[in-house]
Structures are given as structure tokens and as C-alpha cells.
Amino acid sequence: MKVAFLGSRGIPACYGGYDTLMEELALGLVSRGENEIIVYCRSNYFEDKPKNLKGIKLVYLPTVRIKPFESIIHSFLSSIHVLFQDVKVVFFVDPANAPFFLLLRLFGKKIVVHTDGLGWKRLKWNAIERKYYKFVELLCKWTANVLITDNPAMQKYYKDEYKTDSVYIPYGASNHEESNTNVYNELGIYEKKYLLLVARLEPENNPEVIIKEYVKANIDMPLVVVGYSPYNPVFMKKLKQAGNKKVIFTGFIRDQQKLNALYQGAFIYIHGHEVGGTNPSLLRAMDASTAPLVISSPFNESVISGCGFVFKKGEGALSIILKELVTKPDEVKRISLLAKKRAETDFKWKTVVNEYEKVFNRLS
């Protein structure tokens, strides 16, 4: 079986959930000895550019670091390149790439697309861009051979909105790196004595709501905020102004061992993503045996399934829960163990790889 992976920044994973999915999936498939995988990478994200990673063929192509053109330009160049490769199945992440699907199908390629979340609800896009994201959802229905949804609520959305079926395959939860607890000393924090937020710091992930509510709660535990807003420095400045001395902004942490330690050492992981499907950072916290506190949405609630806490977006709601939870460490510990068990049972990378392999084999 030969499959090309398009649409992410590339591997090794260096930024987000798409990259992690591609890396775990590609490594899992090539480890079985009968699969050949090509992963297309954005050259400007990688200083070292090996042609092969543990049996995975890597192709580096350029793009521009300008939203919203970065992904589209790279995917266009990758789509042209893959036309001349001996692969039958092309796996895309991000439905924004749907305009290229028909071209590839005309040349005999089979298209599998990971549908992600509701891009047209993301506040970082302008009105035209949001309309585009709504349009490509429909386009995916007509131009892809198989739609993949990573969350039961997203699967239901495509069925209700577009009367189309999709294959539900979640992300995996585990991270294979060790932990580097030196990060605690670097940040001046103590294990199980801080709260954690890990996210792209964008409006639809609600970092401003979380920070303001944390400040209002006036609790002793610091809030560690991992992430940044690379295309919106004004919003980043606003977030820092909303915080206080106990809000620690780390920026993006590339060192996965330090990030693992932060997930494992947190008292609570706070998750404000609203418009995605299953978010990898939420799964990672659960796998680290850290109790999640998620904003109310069908996506988040289907992931935690009773193995976490939920807060509403309204003013004062999160601050009340935070003040309550810091007085109930035994209950937080109980939920953290449930979250860990759910992550290990229902979000295993081996199962994810198996399910994708079934889809790819049907089309090969």
C-alpha cells in the first residue's frame, strides 16, 4: 500500500495536531513493513531536511508565511508534485484543500480527507474566509472518496448538515517522549500546584476568557499558559494585559519532554477550544493523568464523557468552579484517574493506525 500525506506542516511534528496525527500514522503504517508513505513538508519549518525518517519518505516544498495563503499554496504545490508519484491514495488534512481533490481524482488518485472542526466559526478568519470554509465542507462531500471525522459530534454534524456519512477515527492520546521536570524550576512552579492551558492563543480557543476568569478567581495556584498567537500580536498583547503576576506565559514549547512534564504536573488542565473536533492537547492531558476542565461544547463533552469537569462561557462561571476545585484535591485526583483510564482505553494510537489502514486498503 502506498499513500501520500498532504496538508500539514510536516514531520517531525513541530506545531499542532495535524502534524502529530501524520507522524504517528506514518510511523505506525511503515512499521508494519508492507506500506510506503510519503509526507509533504513545508520547507520553511525545518532547518534539517532529511529525505527519510524511519522509513517515511519526506518531500519538502516551499510556501509563504502569510495567512491564509500558507497552507493553500503548499497544498497546491504538493498536489502537483504527487500527480507524478506512484501512489494511488492521497490523505489530506484540512478541508480547505478540497479544491485540489477533483484535479487529483481526474488523474486516478483516491482522496481521503480529515475534516477537522468547524473552520467557518473561527474568529481569526474574516467574513470571506469563513464563507470559504463553509463552502469547502460541502465540496469535500462531492470530491473526496472518504471523509474522516475525529469526534462523534462532528460525525453527526456532517450527517445532519450534508446528509453524508463519514468514518469516525479519533486521535491517539499518548506521547512517546520522556518527561523533563527541569521545566518546573525554570518556570518557578511546583508539581500539582499550578493550572495549565495549552493552545494556539486564538479567540475561538477562549484564552482571554480563561485568563480573565482565573484572575477573578484569585486563587494561589499560578496559571501556566503554553502557546502563542503568531499572526495576531495585538491579541497576544491583550492577553498579557488581562493577566496578573501569577499568569506565566511560556510561548510555544518545542521540547516535548518539558511539555510532557507540564501536562503531568498540572493540578488541572483547562481547555477552551469550542469549534474543533477532538483536540490532541485535551487527550494528552488526560493521558498524563491530569483532570480536564473543558468549556461546554458537544465536542469536548464527548471526549471526556464524564471523566472531567465542564464550565460555561458566561461571566463568572469558570472562576466559581476554579475556586471550588482547588479546595477538593481528592475529587480532582479521582477524576484524573478516570481520565487516564479513558485515554488508555478509547484513544490508542495502535487502534487509530488500524482504522486508517483499513480505509486506505479499501481504496488501494
Q: What is the pTM of this model?
A: 0.90
Q: Is residue 94 a contact partner of residue 69, using CB atoms and an 8 Å limit?
A: no
Q: What is the pLDDT of residues 27-57, one digit of tens each?
A: 999 998 889 999 999 998 898 899 999 999 9
| Confidence at residue 120, expressed as pLDDT on a 0 to 100 scale | 60
127: cell is: 467574513
**Sign for the pseudo-dihedral over CA of 189, 191, 192, 198:** positive
| Confidence at residue 217, expressed as pLDDT on a 0 to 100 scale | 97
Task: Quickly name the fold that domain 182-346 has.
Answer: Rossmann fold (3.40.50)
The strand pairing partners of 59, in sequence order, are 40
| Confidence at residue 247, expressed as pLDDT on a 0 to 100 scale | 98
In terms of C-beta density within 10 A (0-12 exposed, 13-18 middle, 19 or more buried), how is residue 59 classed? buried
Q: How many CB atoms lie within 10 A of CB 34?
A: 8
Q: What is the pLDDT of residues 298-348, one digit of tens each?
A: 999 999 999 999 999 999 999 999 999 999 999 999 999 999 999 999 999
Run means of pLDDT, 10 residues per run, the chain, 364 residues = 95 82 95 93 91 95 83 94 96 92 95 82 75 87 94 92 94 88 97 96 94 97 93 91 96 92 98 88 96 96 96 95 97 98 96 97 94
Q: How far, in Å, CA of 181 to CA of 189, rounded?
A: 10
User: Within the chain, which residue ranges are assigned CATH 3.40.50.2000?
Assistant: 2-172+348-363, 182-346
| Confidence at residue 121, expressed as pLDDT on a 0 to 100 scale | 66
Which CATH class for the 2-172+348-363 domain? alpha beta
